[in-house]
Amino acid sequence: MEIDAEHRAAGEPQQRRCACCCGPLSAGVGRQLSSSGRGWNDSDMASRLSRRTALRITGCLISAALMPARGQQGGKVPAIGAFLVPSSYFRVFEETLRELGYAKGKNIEFQISPIERQFFPQHLTTELETQYAAKVVPEAAAAVVSMNVDVIVVGPNPFIDALKQATTRIPIVMAFGLDPVGQGYIESFSHPGRNITGLAWETTPEIFGKLVEVLIEMSPRLSRIAGLVDPGSFQRPLWEGAETAAKRRGVVLRSVEIHSKDDITNAFANVKRMRAGAIMIFTGPKLWIWRDRIVDLAMKDKLPTVFPYREGPESGALISYGPNLAAAWRQVAAYVDKILKGANPGQLPVVQSAEFELVVNLKTAMALRISIPESIRLRADLIDR
């Protein structure tokens, strides 16, 4: 709003002027009301103005009431903190925000933690991972909180834990919250009740049982499977789900531990010794980071590999079945949008990652001379890279 220059020149009381009705109507109304010597009055408006004019003035008043709030919001561009968001998923997250009307540098800013580089150096071992979780991760979480961000998006549980300790004020949107009620992140799925909301990523035992069944369906003569596990992220229920499915089909499942990237070569030597005909990769951030190396060695040994996420086949593995992680980050962006528009995270229900997918790499299947059954072709996302 601005002051009507005509009134200032005439020595009249200053009347406010609004951009939505700043033509002759506003000026005329200003003169009528100021000359009466009285302020705004409902009976004056009813007697002096037509119904249409009154509606226009009402709109003007509403705009005037809203303008201070908008000015306050415009004083600071909202900032989003990103805590362990892999670069490939951050691109999906940022792209979704653009589709929702946000543009970096205009109405949104990002503060990206360097924790991914700190937590996943090439030399990381299970022992170092424990030390990092105790010291490096909490320090990095405190650093993100100190950046004056308006909301923080975050990956798996160890990083949610650190943020939970670092702040109870800043909204936190999780992409992969495992057992969020049991971990104390939320009170319930329908009513989180605190500053944390987002997605629960329940990688159930049934998922790994399904992976075993799909692998056997594609390799009917399979008798032994090597399961690569990260001891630091091992979840017994997931192993038991895969083992039960394997026993039901008369297949032996044996575990091979990988503590560091240097262990991968030795792990494949163990796979050869046990005469495994395929490899199943279990959950764990280190195994996700090292997937390219795992797939390269498996292809040299002509062994089909199965992952619980599509990044496996995108790196050259044969199959994956599990939650669509990119879709999860798109959902995270939707949560952020709601929070920036005023929603209370404690009242935004936590949802399960709803989009599951079966992915098959056609090029890998051809290289391994594996025929893809029609039943799998009909329900799989087929990629060729």
Q: Which of 196, 200, 233, 199 is nearest to 119 (CA)?
A: 233
Average pLDDT estimate for 256-268: 92
pTM of the model: 0.72
Contacts of 3 (CB under 8 A, 6+ apart): 14, 15, 16, 17
The predicted structure's pLDDT at residue 9: 37
Say how far apart CA 155 and CA 147 lie, in whole Å: 18
User: How much of the chain exceeds pLDDT 70, in percent?
Assistant: 75
Greater pLDDT, 174 or 179: 174
The predicted structure's pLDDT at residue 212: 96
| 3-class secondary structure, 190 | coil
Lowest mean pLDDT among 25-39, 52-66, 355-369: 25-39
Q: Kindly give the interhelix angle for 126-134 and 136-145, rounded to the nearest 10 degrees.
A: 40
Which residue ranges form the domains of the chain, and what is each CATH number?
A: 2-74 (no CATH), 79-203+326-355 (3.40.50.2300), 205-323+357-383 (3.40.50.2300)
Lowest mean pLDDT among 40-44, 64-68, 111-115, 241-245: 64-68
The predicted structure's pLDDT at residue 114: 86
Report the chain's C-alpha Rg in angstroms.
Answer: 30
The predicted structure's pLDDT at residue 261: 85
Do the Cβ atoms of 153 and 332 come closer than 8 Å?
Answer: yes
User: How much of the chain exceeds pLDDT 90, in percent?
Assistant: 59
pLDDT tens digits, one per residue of 109-127: 999 998 766 655 555 566 6
Length of the chain: 385
The predicted structure's pLDDT at residue 27: 38
- CA torsion sign, 228 to 231 to 232 to 234? positive
Average pLDDT estimate for 291-317: 95
Instruction: Give the amino acid at 143.
Output: A
Report the range out of 26-35, 150-159, 273-282 with the highest average pLDDT.
Answer: 273-282
Average pLDDT estimate for 239-244: 94
Do the Cβ atoms of 38 and 64 come closer than 8 Å?
Answer: no
pLDDT band at 76 (very low <50, low <70, confident <90, very high): confident
The DSSP line for 225-284 is: EEEEE-GGG--HHHHHHHHHHHHHTT-EEEEEE--BTTHHHHHHHHHHHTT-SEEEE---
Mean pLDDT of the chain: 82
Say how far apart CA 371 and CA 318 lie, in whole Å: 11
Lowest mean pLDDT among 77-81, 187-191, 288-292: 288-292
Lowest mean pLDDT among 34-38, 102-106, 179-183: 34-38
Do the Cβ atoms of 227 and 282 come closer than 8 Å?
Answer: yes
Average pLDDT estimate for 18-44: 41
pLDDT tens digits, one per residue of 328-383: 999 999 999 999 999 999 999 999 876 789 999 999 999 999 999 999 999 999 88
What are the Cα distances from residue 169, in Å, to 37, 54, 82, 163? 50, 44, 16, 11
